[in-house]
Every structure is written in structure tokens, then in C-alpha cells.
Structure 1
């Protein structure tokens, strides 16, 4: 635990120089409810959270609000995103609209994942209805191999609400970390809510 805090401190110092002063890496256990101007979620105690700098153009474009990890972002990562419907996806040319059904939104989301150049052998485990932040949406569960050959698994909840696409995702190596931390992710999902 002490080693994790030392690593978090080093990361805070190094990230501070790279991404600007407004980026925040919050050490484990120091904050559990993270809020933005409209959304908040209760993150698990003992997890490190990261909020990108406002000047991070890629994070802003993708709508990244927060990321969290317990053992390192390569081992397990939760992400909360909120982006306008007219925003472009990074890897697909398909567009969202406010009138789409949740499964149509899921299809576009998964097409963006499928088109990612570092994802190989994408397999959909489950794609069905779910709720997020009180809105009807989707739950997509999928596996893939990274370019290095590591088998990973991810679950993403998503919905369209208030003119935004909201997604909460969890990604980890399939062996050990995914099943270990999935229950924690599901608990976080139940806490995502609008503040206004």
C-alpha cells in the first residue's frame, strides 16, 4: 500500500508537468465522490482517480471526465465520459442522434471499438438493455486482444440523456483482474447520477 502511494505521488509530479496544472491525480482513499458540473459518481475507496486537464484536447473531445484504477491503469481502468451527441467518435464515421434507440447507440459505440487500430479479435459477449444515471441505455460486454496479444475484457454502460452520450466503462485483463474488479465496477455504476 505504501508503494502504491509512492508511485501515485511520482505519477502526480510527472503528470503535472505533462498535462498542465488542472489535471488531478488523486491518491487512493482520499476522495470517493467525484463531481463534474452535471454528473457525479462514488468511486471505490483505495482506488486512484485521475481527472484530465481542461487543456487536454483529446480528453475533451472524447468527453473523459474521470478515470480510476486500483493497481495501475494497465491492470484495471474505470472511465466516466460525457460528450455531446454531435461530437465525432475517434475511429468510426457513424453519428449519433437524440432519437436513436439504446441498441442503435450501442452498435455505433461498438463500431468505434471494433475500428480501434490496437484492438484485435473483438468478440461481443453480451449487448443488451440497461440503465445508467436513471436513463434507459445499453450494457456492452466484450473481449479483445491487444496488439501485444493480451486478452482483455471490458464492460460499458451507455445512454443518451440531456443531449449527451454518457458512458461508464471498465477494462482489465480477462485473466484475474476482470472478474476480481467487476463487482466493484457494478457498484460504481449504481452511483452515477445527475447533480442538476
Structure 2
């Protein structure tokens, strides 16, 4: 019995300490004031269990496969991952948006890729772009994405909302757009 209690207690203690998802409904400010965003109420977010080193935050309401809001950055010294195109600080928001679209078109896992909108946007008081995209995954899941971007210093900063086109995109679009309006990226 003495060995059973520690054997049950230690894993339980370890698992409760692994909580990395935090409740939304407040504004999250990243370390060193890199960015801030109001995470919608009823959503959860993490900055720890992110899919790539360039993903700074991921938030979801029902799970990342049903909808996700991502804050990401891409150093302009590095070429874009799929098309290998380079970005420069001299590029206009429209030119950056076109380079991003070209990079997404080069992504092999996207099928039936469509750009429904490519418009200028003010992103946290800065000139930027807003893309409305649709594509199908290799598993035949149709996704819709809103992607905001702005160039700050030596980084392209992106805020993305991705959800299945059916049901989840329209249901959660207003909350994602509100988060996008709150997103701030201070000067580097």
C-alpha cells in the first residue's frame, strides 16, 4: 500500500503541472512586449504547445482542428518556406501579400487554393494586408482562413484565423475579427 500511494500521486502531480492552456477573455501581452492580442472569451490559448518556432500564440474555442487563431512572425532575412521568395523592408503591403499568396500556392498540402480577397488593412495602426483564403487539405477538409499581416522592423507579423468552411468559420468569424482588431505589434 505504501508504494501504491506514491505511484499514483507522482504521475497525478506531474500531469496537473503540465497545464499550458490558459483561459481567454483577456488581453495577452507577450514577453518583451513583442505583441498583444485580446483572446476571445470562451476560448483557450497557449504560447507553449505551438506547432512551429515561429508561432507565438495559438488560441481555440473547441480544439485546434475545429478553429484556431494563430499569431506568428517570419524574419525577413529568411526566404518564405515554400516558394523561397525573399521579403524586404522596401516592399509595400500589397507586394508582401502577393509574396505570401505565392508562397501558399506553392504549399503542396493545399488543394483547390483560392484567394477570395486581398485587401489593404490597418493592422494595429500600421499598414498591412488582409487575405481571405479557401483551400482543401489532403484529407479533403475544406478550410477558410483570414490572414492579416504587417511588416514591423525585420519581421513579417501574421495573425491567422483558420476553421472548416462549414459551420465553424462563420460561427467564430466575429470573435476572430475582434481579436484581429485588438492585435498590436510595437516597433522593434
The two structures have a TM-score, normalised by structure 2, of 0.83
- Residue from 16, 25, 45 that aligns with 2:20: 25
Match of 1:129 in 2: 120
Q: Bigger CA drift: 65-74 or 33-42?
A: 33-42
The secondary structure found in structure 2 opposite 1:98 is coil
The secondary structure found in structure 2 opposite 1:171 is strand
1:35 partnered with 2:29:
yes
- Residue from 137, 143, 153 that aligns with 2:144: 153
1:83 partnered with 2:71:
no
Cα deviation for residue 111 of structure 1 reads 1.7
Match of 2:183 in 1: 192
Q: Over the residues paired in the alignment, what is the CA RMSD in angstroms?
A: 2.2
Match of 2:46 in 1: 50
The secondary structure found in structure 2 opposite 1:136 is strand
2-side partners of 1:25 and 1:105: how far apart?
A: 33
The secondary structure found in structure 2 opposite 1:193 is coil
Q: How many residues end up aligned between the 2 structures?
A: 171
1:52 and 1:91, CA in 2 relative to 1: closer, same or farther beyond 3 A?
farther
Q: Which runs of 5+ in 2 are unaligned?
A: 1-13
The secondary structure found in structure 2 opposite 1:194 is coil
C-alpha contact 2:118 2:132 (8 A) present in aligned 1? yes
Match of 2:160 in 1: 169
C-alpha contact 2:77 2:154 (8 A) present in aligned 1? no
Match of 2:98 in 1: 107
The secondary structure found in structure 1 opposite 2:128 is strand
2-side partners of 1:82 and 1:134: how far apart?
A: 17
Match of 1:3 in 2: none
The secondary structure found in structure 2 opposite 1:25 is coil
Cα deviation for residue 129 of structure 1 reads 0.4
1:95 partnered with 2:98:
no
